[in-house]
Each structure stands twice: as structure tokens, then as C-alpha cells.
Amino acid sequence: MNRQSLKYFFLLLLFVSTQSFAKIDELRSNNVRKNINFNQGWKFHLAYDVRKQPEKINVTLPHTWNAKDVLLGNINYKRETGIYEKSFQVNTRWKDKRLFLYFEGANSVASVFVNCHFVAEHRGGYTAFCVEITNFVIPGTLNTIEIQVSNAIRNDVLPLCGDFNVYGGIHRPVSLLVTSKNCISPLDYASPGVYLTPKDISAASATIDILSKLSLSDAAKFEVRTEIRDADQCIVGSAEEGITDDRQSTQTIKIKKPHFWNGKTSPYLYTATIKLLKNNQLVDEVKQHLGIRYYQVDAEKGFSLNGKYLDLHGVGLHEDVQGKGSALDTDDYNKDMQLIKEIGANALRLTHYPHGKYFYDLCDKNGLIVWSEIPFVGPGGYSGDGYIKNEALEEQVKQVLTEMIRQNYNHPSILFWGLFNELKLDHDDPVPFLSQLNSLSKKEDPSRLTACASFLDNDRFNDVSDLIAWNKYYGWYDGEFKQIGTWADNTHRLFPGKPFAVSEYGAGGSPFKHTESDEKPVTDGKFHPEEWQTRYHEANWQELNKRSFIWAKFVWALADFGSSIRKEGDAAGINDKGLVTYDRSVKKDAFYFYKANWNNAPMLYITDRRNIDRHQSLTTIKIYSTVLNVQLIVNGAVLKSASPDQLHIIKWENIRLKKGLNKIEVRGGAGSNILEDSCEWTLK
């Protein structure tokens, strides 16, 4: 063979090889599931419009119809039914496939119709559901989807009440899932169909149990192959099992010298790939992140992660952004995560319902410790019924708890399953049912601890969950700031073997309202000055920070949020206890207080800076600082330097302001790491 012929031979070989690999890739692509974004192209109208041609608007999911209505402070905001419609072409290549619609959340009851045929109903707005539509669609033609969603008040669907709004609509993303006839099941309570359980964890090794739920229709030879890869994509363990049971596969993989998921210090994630093979051909595949960690909560020693004490401190968080309600997109989630990282929180209580999948993924990747709870919410200190026994409701509560656990089972960030928030004891005794919920949680997931959040100072709920927590507002609704320390010591003495946390503490505050006095504001009034909120948090954290036996401390809340029952603060319909404003545009002074105490990054911040119109010539200048030797400069005059106390606070008292404009400057640090901050106040 001459050189020219040899050249053509290699080119032909290269072409054939390329085509072969392309065919393999195409075969793989055709066999493995497709997850298709299904958020565009919807039309929406409210159901009361029964005209033949109702006015419909074009919407992109996530969507809610009452995000703006509730801001009017209207308690009777729109709780009705909305209708979403969409047409889509079913690819003829999918005639031998299975098709599923996967809803991450539709508030609160959703009915699914395909080509005018009823397919399924789901109750509960904060957990996902998956509906198979294979037998209702026609390949090669235009098919219609109609989703009827109701957020009407019902006594058999959570939440029954609460100090937050129930936004109606398909408020989380939707996807179209296309699989082979045989697949890893997406119908197991809308879970991934795969459950990863680390156990027998030590520095030397960890054992991973893998349970895969299968949906098989053929009488063929099936196998499940599982690979676990480290962060560098190197295989660290694998298993293969032939399937004799058509419902599930169980496998075990041991990982030597595991790299722990260690919270913010090292949120290390492995990747588990679970493959379903039919006659040695790949037909389905699911990937899940895996975090290996162990933890303990002790009534005396508090919380430990991977054998080391960790002071858990963080914030409560609602999925609620001004103008959007609960219809958040990835930018909204990312913005909240950036705020959480900036403030230095290492724990989150995701209230008062399971949050969106994307945010749980962010918590995994950023090392946050998560308390995730179901929307079994009582009226708390408000009027309204306590727990009233209702069999239909109890079944729905169990359904939502099962969904929350199965859908989020593989998230290493989640350590606590929450069973309720602020139930009353006014009517039927909820304790027997709560004990059932705890047993269900342990059956579904014996590896995690259960928790409850109560506002009642008694032990009635102490035995219904592994852990107990209390929502305490000393210095806001009643009592004095430092009472939280006295309360904690008394509680620790009364229940010495029970680990407890503070699940909520906070005060209303407006960055647009200010005071120079120390007088406590009226909590249900319009005047919620920023300065009182700041004093509240300084005093409460001083007490909580001393007590390591309190296994977690959660500020209420990261951001202001919508609550139609509120008639206080700057605007009706807003709970203003957030550390940042509803639109996330302003970080209140209290935000910077916690940043100074929780985040090790160098910072200087002058508090009370927005109180620009002053009426007292003698004032206290207060800053938050993580650097030493901070210099104060007032109107160009350099005053005495000072260093922060244990709460990272510096105060210069009895500083005299001049009539008119005053410039306040602070400077601290050393060498090239000099920090500066300044503001201007006007003495009237």
C-alpha cells in the first residue's frame, strides 16, 4: 500500500470510528432518560372566568397569581383556582418511551388533565409530584396539558394557618421526563428513585447502602450497576447486581478513607451513578450527590459534626421575595445564599415547609446544616383553632412528611426533619398523632433526627421527637432582652436530658424609621425603629452565645416576608423581622452585627448610620468591627482609638455633634489591610 492509499485508509478508519462512536452516543442518548425544561409556553387565567373565550395571559413558570395582591394587607387575599394550559408536540421517536410530568411544587391542590382526560390530583403545595402521561398523549400530534391549581383554604390540606402567605399557582419549575419502558422509578413519591445511606463511618472507611426503586415491564435480564466517584471523578467504589425482584435493588459499597462532608469547612461531595441495564444495554441512569458525615446532639455538649463541636447558628428563611411571592428563580435562590454566606451562618431552618430542590442543592454545596420541616403549622400566639383531629388531614400530613423525606433523602446538608411549628393544646391533644409522625419519620429515615418548634413553656412535646426547640421573643412581644438567658438555664435545669434549641428569636425593624431614645416600640404599631431591632439582637445573642448546650440558635428571619395578617411596621402585609428588606436591597444594622460575630472576614461598620437627622448634641457612636485599634474621626478631628469587645462592638460615648452637617469616619487595621467606613449626620 503506497503512502497516498495509506492516508485514505486511515481517513476512512477515522471516519468509521467517529461514526461508530456517534452511533454509540446516539444509542446512549436515545436510551437514557431526558429531562426537558417545561416552564415556557403556558397560558393562565383564573377559573371564575367561565366565558367561552376567557382572557388568558402568557406566563413562564414558576408563577403565582397573588404575589402583589397580598401586599395590600388584605387578609382575604385571592385563595381560589387558577388554570394553566400548554400545548406541546410529542416526538414520534418517543412512541416506545414513557413520559412523565414532574412538578416541583403547585400550591396547594393540583389536578392534571391531558387531552381533556383527568390524570391525577396532588394535595400539598410544597412537595414535588410526578405524573405519568404515557397513555394519554399521542406521538406526532399536538397534545394539550391543563393544570387546575387551587390555593383555597381547606381543612384537609396543609398549611391550615400561619404567619405567612399561601401563594397560589405552579410556583416551582416543571419538567418533562422521558424514559425507556424500563426505568428507575420517578413515581416513588416523586423521589429520585435512589436512596443513599452512609453508615459505619470512620476515618478508615464508610459503607454506603444503595436502594434503587425500579419500574420494569419486560421479562428480561436486568442489572443495576452503581459507581461512586470522588470530586476528581475517580471511581472509589462500585457494585453490580442482577435483578430478581422487579421492584428494587439493594447494593453496598465500601469507601476507604472517606473525605467527610464537613459543613462549611469542607462541603465535599461524591457522585453516585446508578445505571439500569437490560441484556447488558444501558436503559436508564440516575446521578445523585453523596455526602459522608456523622453527627450528634447532646443535652450538655450541644451539636457535633464528625466528632467535633460546632456552634450551630443561622437564620429562618421563607421562600418569598417582593413582587414574586414564592415563585422564585435560580437568581433569587443564589442571592439569598450569598446573603447567608456573607452573614456567616452555618445553619438554616427552612420554614415552614420544604423548599425548592435547587436551594437544597445550594445548601449541600455550601456546607449549610439544614432543618427541613413540613407545613404542619399552628396559629401560635394568634387566635384560631389548635389541633382538631381530622383523619383526612392526618393522612395528608403523613403524605407530605413521606414526600419531604423521600424527595430530599440524599441531601447531606439536611440533618433534621421538622414535624410541626407552634401547635396549640386548646382542642384535641396532638401528642398521639405527633408520635405517629415521629415513628413514620424513623421508618422512612432512621439516620436523621426529628425536631419540633414550640412556643409553649411546658414539656408536652418533649417526647414526640428526638429534639425540641422553642420560639422565644423576649424583648419584643414580652419580657426583657436578657430573659432568654434565664429561660434557657431554667429549661436546661427542668429537662436535663433533653437537647433543646432556640428555633426563632427576633424583632421587627425598619431601616427607614429611627429613634435616639431607648424606649421600646409598640410591637403592633407602625413605628419599628431599626435601632431597637439592633439592640434586641445584641442583647439576645450575648445570652445565647454563652450557652453551648443550646444545640442551635436561629434568628427570625433572614429577610422580611409577606404575611397578610400583619398591620404593623412600614407597610401592611409584611412581617418586618428580617435582617434584610423584603426586596433584599437593604441590609439592616442587625445583619452587620451577626456578620461581625459569625463571619471571620475583616469588616468595619458604623451602626445607626441611616438615622441622619439628629436632635441630641451628645451621642454614642457605635460600630461593629473584626479588626483592632479602630480610630474614630469626627468632623476631621481624630479621637481616641479603641478595640472591639467580645461581641465585636466598639462604643464611643458622649461624642458631641455640631449644629448642621457632621461627618463620622472610622479607620482600622494595619499595613495594606486598612478598612474605612463613614457616614454623615445632621444635628437639627
Q: For the chain, what are the domain ranges?
A: 1-29, 34-180, 194-290, 295-601, 613-683
Q: Return the SS3 of 277.
A: strand
Nearest-angstrom CA–CA distance, 437 and 453: 14
Note the pLDDT of residue 6. 44
Share of the chain above pLDDT 90, in %: 86
- Torsion angles phi and psi, residue 219, rounded to 5: -90, 80
Whether pLDDT at 23 is above 60 = no
Whether pLDDT at 12 is above 50 = no
Are 223 and 240 spatial neighbours (Cβ–Cβ below 8 Å)? yes
User: Is 530 designated active site?
Assistant: no
Report how far apart, in Å, the C-alpha atoms of 294 and of each of 254, 297, 683 are: 16, 11, 57
Q: Which three cell numbers stand for residue 382?
A: 394568634
Q: Which CATH architecture has domain 295-601?
A: Alpha-Beta Barrel (3.20)
**Helix (H), strand (E), coil (C) string for 205-229:** EEEEEEEEEEECCCCCCEEEEEEEE
**The residue count for the chain:** 684
What is the tens place of the pLDDT at every residue in 577-588? 999 999 999 999
Q: Which pLDDT band holds residue 17 (cuts at 50, 70, 90)?
A: very low
Report how far apart, in Å, the C-alpha atoms of 141 and of each of 138, 170, 181, 465, 549 are: 6, 25, 21, 53, 64
Q: Which pLDDT band holds residue 30 (cuts at 50, 70, 90)?
A: low
Note the pLDDT of residue 617. 96
What is the tens place of the pLDDT at every residue in 172-208? 999 999 999 999 999 999 999 999 999 999 999 999 9
What is the tens place of the pLDDT at every residue in 453-472? 999 999 999 999 999 999 99
Nearest-angstrom CA–CA distance, 315 and 458: 24
Supply the CATH classification number for the domain 613-683: 2.60.40.10
Q: Is the dihedral of CA 101, 106, 109, 112 positive or negative?
A: negative
Whether pLDDT at 20 is above 60 = no
* Fold of the 194-290 domain: Immunoglobulin-like (2.60.40)
What is the tens place of the pLDDT at every residue in 61-71? 999 999 887 66
The reply to whether 295-601 shares the fold of 34-180 is: no
> Higher pLDDT residue, 484 or 50?
484
Note the pLDDT of residue 24. 34
CATH class of 34-180: mainly beta
What is the tens place of the pLDDT at every residue in 266-315? 999 999 999 999 999 999 999 999 999 999 999 999 999 999 999 999 99
Q: Is the dihedral of CA 435, 437, 442, 448 positive or negative?
A: negative
What is the tens place of the pLDDT at every residue in 221-238? 999 999 999 999 999 999
Q: What is the residue-averaged pLDDT of the chain?
A: 93
Amino acid at 43: K
Whether pLDDT at 669 is above 90 = no
Q: Which pLDDT band holds residue 31 (cuts at 50, 70, 90)?
A: low
From the list 422, 531, 538, 543, the catalytic residue is 422
Note the pLDDT of residue 148. 98
What is the tens place of the pLDDT at every residue in 490-521? 999 999 999 999 999 999 999 999 999 999 99
Q: Which pLDDT band holds residue 407 (cuts at 50, 70, 90)?
A: very high
Nearest-angstrom CA–CA distance, 565 and 252: 51
Residues β-bridged to residue 662: 681
Q: Mean of the pLDDT values across residues 623-638?
A: 97
Q: Mean of the pLDDT values across residues 366-373?
A: 98
Q: Is 292 exposed, middle or buried (0-12, 13-18, 19+ CB in 10 A)?
A: buried
Q: Which three cell numbers stand for residue 106?
A: 403547585
Q: Mean of the pLDDT values across residues 381-389?
A: 77
Q: Mean of the pLDDT values across residues 369-376?
A: 98
Note the pLDDT of residue 72. 63
Whether pLDDT at 153 is above 50 = yes
